[in-house]
Amino acid sequence: MHEPLHWLILFLPLLAAMVITLFLQRYPRCSAALSVGAVLASFLLSVGVLAEFLDGRAPDIALTWLQVGSLQIQFGLHFDALSALMLLVVTGVGSVIHIYSVGYMRGDPHYARFFAEMSLFTFSMLGIVVSNNFFQMFVFWELVGLSSYLLIGFWYQRPSAADAAKKAFLTNRLGDVGFLIGIVLAWAVTGTLSFAGMKDQLLRDPTLFNTTATVVGLLIFCGAVGKSAQFPLHVWLPDAMEGPTPVSALIHAATMVAAGVYMLCRVFFIFTHHDLLVIAWIGGITALLSALIAVQQDDIKRILAYSTLSQLGYMVMAVGFSAPPAAMFHLTTHAFFKALLFLGAGSVIHALSQEQNIWQMGRLRSKMPLTYWTFLAGTLALCGLWPLSGAFSKDAILAAAWEHNKALFALGELVAFLTTFYMFRLFFVVFLGKPKSDLVGHAHESPRIMTYPLVFLAAASVVGGFMGITQFITPQFSPASARLPIFAPLEPFETSPVAALLGLAAIAIGFVAAYVYYAGAESDPLPGKMKEVCNVLRHKFYFDEFYAGLVDVCQDKPARAINLCDIGLKLLVRLTHGTAEWTGRVLRLVQTGNLQTYTLLLAAGAALVLYFMLTR
Amino acid sequence: MNPAMLSLELAVIGLALAVLLIDLWTLHEFKHRLGYLAAAGLLVILVASLCCASTGEPPATGFSGMFVQDGLALFFKRIFLAAGVLVVLMGVEFRDRIPMGLGEFFTIILMELAGMMFAASANDFVMVYVAMEMMSVSFYILISFQRSRSYSLEAGVKYLILSALSAGLLVFGIALIFGTSGRTNFAVVAAEGTRLAQNKLFCLGALLVLLGLAFKISAVPMQMWAPDVYQGAPTPVTAFLAIGSKAAGFVLVLRVLFVAAPALALHWGKLFTWAAALTILYGNLCAIPQRSLKRLLGYSSIANAGYILLGVAALNPPGSVAVLYYLAGYAFTLAVIFIVLCLVARDSDDIAVLAGLNRRSPLLALALTLGMISLAGIPPLAGFFGKLLLFKAVLEQAAVHRSYLWLALVAIAGVVISYYYYFGVIRAVYWSEEGPEMTPIAVSAPLKVSMGVCIAAMFYLGLCPDAVLSAAAKAVQALRF
């Protein structure tokens, strides 16, 4: 491929976003076609890049973007196994979701704006993927934050959507501040912003960062905590479900939230073993907390959102176990099946006139067969049932946990059990059992433009474990490792039989528990049995309340105190204003409109001037 | 003497007579074309004055030294000519509100213009008086031209009586000067300046002359007439009062002070400091509660007279350069505002007529907004740079005398107060409840062009001041400090 074609991967979506925004606002069909076309073209070009990479000819393109003194900032396109894989995920899953949106968003008054923003997001995300330095990555990191803000708040007329967009943006800012400080520290020590340059220096002198090593790593991890919604900044992701469902699928399941994990893999060389321990525990805690919360949610998209949090926790945990290939593997399979689940949920929501409460659904199996079967595939893949894709990637992580940290391994198995439990709770309530509202009677299968993407993603979820993703990515992180066989269906059971078998057991227990409680249930039986526990879970461990209180104490209360000074100032301003205004009103009285008065005042004024000028 | 020296004035008077004559053979429905004729003629004269007429270098004098054609005179004549074109075009727009005598209306505007041009060239106290009367008499007629409106007549009477009173002061002052010096020519009086400055009667005469001129520029204590007359006069006439009459007053003040009596000027810094400060405060404070737009502009005109007096009070060349520069920018700014008022404030000039203007005519809303922003003195428009020059000139003098520092502070306070009412107008345009009248406003092509030129000039003066600044610097070489 010629060099300009590589640039097109990145800039086609931006071009689409600009053209739609500037010229096509009134042409919804054209804008959809343009946006879908751009992301599809990017996908095809990414496949070309993959072919080049397998040939060993992938180029490394870098232009000088800024030059400030000795600081040189590049704008680059960096292609290696990691970025090639991520490019395919972003453009591939992105294409499918774009196509699905054509059907899902039909009839929305701001159809064109939706596609413009989706294209802007794709551009920003691709920018992160191909970055070869921290500066470029941070710029696109923020652009991703912006487009996420725009898309969450797409229906900005709803106060809840506007609030959710704000919450997502501000929470991300918290993480980004740490990220930025980390980048600046790393630059201050190494004098370069490029990943390759930093890695070289660290290889030459592992003690380069000296005592700051752990701090720098943790600060950079902060960025991932924000973007990938890890504990304690996880609160924004469930609220982000206020956006349209394709947005939830693309941004808040498949790609953007994975950017944090991708970034951790990209700069893996910078983390010390202390950092990695923290990263693993943060991931583990996130996985457990959100899996627990998901058990007691009633909104179909929120359940999936907490499930996403929990799976992101797995990925981050994998990075913490020094197993970036496992993290990337799970990132990829998760992109397939979680996008599938979200789009399936979107199909259900679409059929039930925007109803999202699972307790208003039921027996959709017969009404929406295609959605039912694909959703089942996604659920099983997410639970990690062998031989679906999730089994391979999750077992890779659990195997790494078994090697590194037995406590986190137990935690991981517990999460696997919970995952199966809440997913089948959802599945039984939505698709089986009795219809729980009249809406179900009117439900019908979604149009083909929405079901074909489901089928495609279901296929990917099923065979994702056999695509050779680990084999493709492992050499980048451990070049010395033996070449793995591409097709190895029994590989999990061979490398780490304990993890794999315990995983299967967790799935079985989870399924049975879900069946016992929820098959045919009219309402949730759990709150009746464990009232306090369920209450805590329903309130998401009171994180939102805690943060609201924290903001109140740290910000609102001091602000109110400072406002008192402001009132004083305001009085001063009012006083000045009042003086001027009343002087004006009084002076105006002089201006009576009476000619005699004017003449008198004029003569008196003239006399005064003469008196003062001539007698002194 | 060289008769070509008078060519601009003669051309304007010729044009006035031509309009008056052609009026006799023009049908009533075509009378407004006389306005276009007058505007076109003035435009030709303006272009001629820019290209062909002498540059005023070296200054030429005529009529035994009564008339001088120098850079200062030419600078002001160009402002007057440009203002004349714009005012005549406003008059054409205003024709439906002038029941009869449209041809005469244009003629008198032209005669008025000729008076202003003579004022710019005045080099003799007699000339000052003649030019002043030529302007005043024309204005008596113009202000009360809407004979069916009592407001117009009331304004005319007020202007007549108060102007007559101030003219009385002026002519009494001239008599005293003549009595003490035996001469009326500026140059001759100035030659004996140091001796005459000791003479109290001469000082009294000079003060009376300045008071007479203060009426024209509407400075304290001779400012009372401005709001009433501005409100009552037909809008184009108000514009001419605000732009032309004020500028003519200032050129006479500069000449009397810095050509005829430079020795006195040195001691009278305090007089101008007080006059400037009080005028700024009076104009700005009284403008606050106004709801009538033309009255508001009357008070704004008083406040602006105060700002321009800052340049006079500075008693230095940069101050006078700033006066010239400010007046040039002020002319275009006010022209654009009055064009908008001509079109919008038809039956009433209450601020409520602006409601929904941004929907009725975005062009007019923009023009009015830019005008107000320029008056408020906000970059990058002409008003900002003019005020900057004035303040700079005053602050340069602050090193000499502390009172100038106070003057600058008062002026800044005045500017801050003025934001309130200037932005009140902008708020009325964009953010008020929609009025009953929401039909779009048609703007004729000549007025569109005029507004475009004024806006362009406002930006040009605010962004690229060099050309006009150097012209003003050359013009003030005629003055002595």
pLDDT at position B53, please? 56
Nearest Cα residue in chain A from B284: A584
CA–CA separation, A277 and A165 (whole Å): 32
> Average pLDDT over chain A, rounded to whole?
88
Q: Please, which residues 422-481 of chain B have a Cβ atom closer than 8 Å to chain A? A: none
Tokens representing residue B233 in the block: 């006069």
Tokens representing residue B311 in the block: 């340049």
Share of chain A above pLDDT 70, in %: 98
pLDDT at position A585, please? 86
Q: For B385-405, how does the pLDDT look when each residue is reduced to its tens digit (9 = 90+)?
A: 999 999 999 999 988 888 899
Across A426-430, A473-477, B79-83, B97-101, the highest mean pLDDT is recorded for: B79-83
Residues of chain A positioned with their CB less than 8 A from the CB of B211: 606, 609
Q: Indicate the SS3 state at residue A233.
A: coil
CA angle B394, B397, B403 (to 5 degrees): 85
Q: Could B221 and A604 be called an inter-chain contact, meaning their C-beta atoms sit closer than 8 Å? A: yes
Nearest to A606 among B211, B228, B284 (CB): B211
Rounded to an integer, the average pLDDT of A111-123 is 92
Tell me the one-letter amino acid at A611.
Y
Measured between CA atoms, how close is A582 to chain B, in angstroms?
9
Nearest to B221 among A585, A599, A609 (CB): A609
pLDDT at position B128, please? 95
Q: For A493-523, how does the pLDDT look when each residue is reduced to its tens digit (9 = 90+)?
A: 777 788 888 888 999 999 999 888 888 777 8
pLDDT at position B1, please? 58
Measured between CA atoms, how close is A574 to chain B, in angstroms?
13
Q: Could A601 and B221 be called an inter-chain contact, meaning their C-beta atoms sit closer than 8 Å? A: yes
Least Cα distance to B110 among B24, B23, B12, B21 occurs for B12
> Is B350 in CB contact (< 8 Å) with chain A?
no
Measured between CA atoms, how close is B286 to chain A, in angstroms?
4
Nearest Cα residue in chain A from B164: A599
Least Cα distance to B384 among B481, B461, B471 occurs for B461
pLDDT at position B348, please? 86
Nearest Cα residue in chain B from A598: B224
Query: Which residues does residue A61 pair with via DSSP β-bridges, in sequence order?
Result: A77
Least Cα distance to B85 among B116, B127, B40 occurs for B40
Q: From the candidates B158, B215, B224, which should be mutated to test the interface with A, based on the most A CB atoms within 10 A?
A: B224
Residue A480 has pLDDT above 70, yes or no: no
Nearest Cα residue in chain B from A576: B417
pLDDT at position A467, please? 79
Q: How far is CA B467 from the centre of its chain?
A: 21
Q: Which residues of A touch B (CB under 8 A)?
A: 580-581, 583-585, 587-588, 590-591, 593, 595, 598-599, 601-606, 608-610, 613-614
Tell me the one-letter amino acid at A97.
I
Instruction: Report which of residues A432 and B231 the model is more confident about.
Output: B231
Low-confidence stretches of chain B (pLDDT < 50) are none
Rounded to an integer, the average pLDDT of A174-188 is 91
- pLDDT confidence of A333, banded at 50, 70, 90? very high
Rounded to an integer, the average pLDDT of A463-471 is 80
- Is the Cβ–Cβ distance between A361 and A298 less than 8 Å? no
pLDDT at position A360, please? 85
Complex ipTM value: 0.90
Share of chain B above pLDDT 70, in %: 99
pLDDT at position B54, please? 59
Specify the range with the lowest mean pLDDT, choosing from A300-309, A539-548, B218-227: A539-548
Q: For B94-124, how does the pLDDT look when each residue is reduced to its tens digit (9 = 90+)?
A: 998 888 889 999 999 999 999 999 999 999 9
- Is the Cβ–Cβ distance between B94 and B234 less than 8 Å? yes
pLDDT at position A178, please? 92
- pLDDT confidence of A39, banded at 50, 70, 90? very high
